[in-house]
Chains A and B, each alone.
Chain A
Amino acid sequence: MISQFFVLSQRGDHIVFRDYRGEVPKGSAEIFFRKVKFWNDDEAEEAPPVFNVDGVNYIHVKVAGLFFVVTTMVNVSPSLLLELLQRIARVTKDYLGVLNEDSLRKNFILVYELLDEVIDFGYPQTTSTEVLKSYIFNEPIMVDAGRLPPLGPAAMFMQGTKRMPGTAVTKSVVATEPGGKKREEIFVDIIERISVTFSSSGYILTSEIDGTIQMKSYLTGNPEIRLALNEDLSIGRTGSSYDYRSSSGGGTVILDDCNFHESVHLDSFDIDRTLTLIPPDGEFPVMNYRMTQEFKPPFRVTALIEEAGPSRAEVLLKIRADFSANATANTITVQMPVPSYTMRASFELEAGAVGQTTDFKEGSRRLEWNLKKIVGGSEHTLRAKLTFSQESHGNITKEAGPVNMNFTIPMYNASKLQVRYLQIAKKSKAYNPYRWVRYVTQANSYVARL
Chain B
Amino acid sequence: MAPTVPSAAKSASPSQPSGKSEVADLKQQLRQLAGSRAPDADDQRRDVFKRVISCMTAGIDVSAAFGEMVLCSATSDVVTKKMCYLYVGAHARAHPDLALLTINFLQRDCRDQDPTIRGLALRSLCSLRVPNLVEYLVTPLTTGLKDPSAYVRMIAAVGAAKLYHISATACIDADLPASLKALMLSDPDAQVVANCLHALQEIWTLEAANSEAAAREIETLYSKPVVFYLLNKIKEFSEWAQCIVLELASKFLPSDNNEIFDIMNLLEDRLQHANGAVVLATIKVFLHLTMSMTDVHQQVYERIKAPLLTLVGAGSPEQSYSVLCHLHLLVMRAPMLFSSDYKSFYCQFSDPSYVKKLKLEMLTAIANESNTYEIVTELCEYAGNVDVPIARESIRAVGKIALQQYDVNAIVDRLLQFLEMDKDYVTAETLVLVKDLLRKYPQWSHDCIAVVGNISSKNIQEPKGKAALIWMLGEYSQDMHDAPYILESLVENWDEEHSPEVRLHLLTAVMKCFFKRPPETQKALGATLAAGLSDTHQDVHDRALFYYRLLQYNPNVAERVVNPPKQAVSVFADTQSSEIKDRIFDEFNSLSVVYQKPSYMFTDKEHRGPFEYSEDLTSLTVGAEDPENVISAQRYQENDNDLLLSTSDKEDNGTRASNGSSTSTYNAPSDLISPSLIGSQTPAETSLINTGGPTHSSQSNFSLDDLLGLGVTEAPAPPPPALTLNSKPVLDPGTFQRKWGQLALALSQECSLSPQGAAALMNPQSLIRHMQSNYIQCIASGGQPPNYKFFFYAQKDGATAFFLVECIVNTASAKAQLKIKADDGAAVEAFSTLFQSALSKFGLS
Contact = CB atoms under 8 A, between A and B. Distances in A.
B153 to A, nearest CB: 13
A86 B57 contact: no
B725 interface: no
Interface in A392-422: 393-394, 398-399, 402, 404
B310 A49 contact: no
Interface string B657-682: 00000000000000000000000000
Interface in A52-109: 52, 55, 57, 60-63, 73-80, 82-86, 108-109
B843 to A, nearest CB: 31
Given A78-B590, A128-B238, A446 B195 contact: no
A398 B421 contact: yes
B310 A256 contact: yes
A22 B93 contact: yes
B129 interface: yes
A260 B278 CA distance: 12
A163 B313 CA distance: 10
Nearest to B123: A120
Interface stretch (B515-523, B559-567, B607-615, B761-769): B607-615
Contact of B321 (A48, A84, A127, A289): A48
B310 A288 contact: yes
B136 interface: no
Contacts of A46: 352-354
Contact of B314 (A109, A116, A288, A337): A288
Contacts of A138: 79
B589 interface: yes
Interface string B175-199: 0000000000000000100010010
Interface stretch (B381-389, B549-557, B703-711, B807-815): B381-389
A290 B309 contact: yes
A74 B155 contact: no
A211 B474 CA distance: 57
Interface in B327-377: 340-341, 343, 346, 348-354
B275 A83 contact: yes
Interface string B253-293: 00000000000000000001111110111000000000000
B599 interface: yes
B239 A290 contact: no
Contact of B603 (A55, A84, A212): A55
A57 B350 CA distance: 26
A162 interface: yes
Given A121-B162, A126-B238, A285-B274, A75 B349 contact: no
Contact of B389 (A13, A14, A45, A75): A45
Contact of B273 (A128, A241, A259): A259
Contact of A82 (B281, B314, B319): B319
B315 interface: yes
B591 interface: yes
B441 to A, nearest CB: 26
Nearest to B129: A22
A62 B306 CA distance: 26
Chain B CB count within 10 A is highest, among A60, A78, A163, A290, for A78
A77 B280 contact: yes
Contacts of A134: 116
B58 A80 contact: no
B595 interface: yes
A101 to B, nearest CB: 13
B172 interface: no
Contacts of B591: 50, 52, 57, 75-78
A262 interface: yes
Contacts of B341: 241
B823 interface: no
B306 A125 contact: no
Interface stretch (B63-71, B82-90, B401-409, B493-501): B82-90
Nearest to B603: A75
A19 interface: yes
B173 interface: no
A234 to B, nearest CB: 14
Contact of B340 (A74, A193, A241): A241
Chain A interface extent, by class: 35 or more
B96 interface: no
Contacts of A337: 386
Contact of B274 (A52, A121, A135, A288): A288
Contacts of B352: 46, 48
Contacts of B325: 78
Contact of A80 (B162, B277, B422): B277
Interface in A15-59: 15-17, 19, 22, 29, 43, 45-50, 52, 55, 57
Contacts of A402: 349, 381
A123 B388 contact: no
B58 A13 contact: yes
Contact of A125 (B57, B191, B353, B592): B191
A120 B155 contact: yes
Contacts of B346: 197, 206
A257 interface: yes
B79 A109 contact: yes
A326 interface: no
Contact of B319 (A16, A83, A127, A292): A83
Contacts of A49: 317-318, 321-322, 354
Interface string A161-188: 0111000000000000000000000000
A208 interface: yes
Contact of B354 (A45, A121, A212, A241): A45
Contacts of A449: 381
B340 A16 contact: no
Contact of B607 (A47, A50, A75, A261): A75
A252 interface: no
B113 interface: no
Given A48-B354, A197-B346, A394-B420, A112 B86 contact: yes
A135 B116 contact: yes
B59 interface: yes
B57 A17 contact: yes
A125 B154 contact: yes
Nearest to A13: B58
Nearest to B56: A17
Instruction: From A17, A121, A398, name the one whose CB has the most chain B CB atoms within 10 angstroms.
Output: A121
Nearest to B340: A240
B311 interface: yes
Interface string B595-632: 10001001110011100100000000000000000000
A269 to B, nearest CB: 11
A424 to B, nearest CB: 22
B53 interface: yes
Contacts of A398: 384, 421
Given A52-B602, A260-B274, A116 B53 contact: no
B744 interface: no
Interface in A370-392: none
Nearest to A19: B90
Interface string A270-301: 00000000000000010111101000000000
A127 B318 contact: no
A65 to B, nearest CB: 13
A128 B275 CA distance: 14
B276 A74 contact: no
A447 B57 contact: no
Across chains A and B, which 8 residue pairs bring their CB atoms closest together, nearest first?
Answer: A445-B348, A210-B313, A124-B240, A49-B318, A257-B306, A80-B277, A288-B314, A445-B349
7 contacts: A75-B591, A75-B599, A79-B276, A128-B238, A135-B116, A162-B350, A404-B349
Interface of B: 50, 53-54, 56-59, 78-79, 82-83, 86, 90, 93, 116, 123, 127, 129, 151, 154-155, 158, 161-162, 191, 195, 198, 202, 238-241, 243, 247, 272-277, 279-281, 306-307, 309-311, 313-319, 321-323, 325-326, 340-341, 343, 346, 348-354, 381, 384, 386, 388-389, 420-422, 587, 589-595, 599, 602-604, 607-609, 612
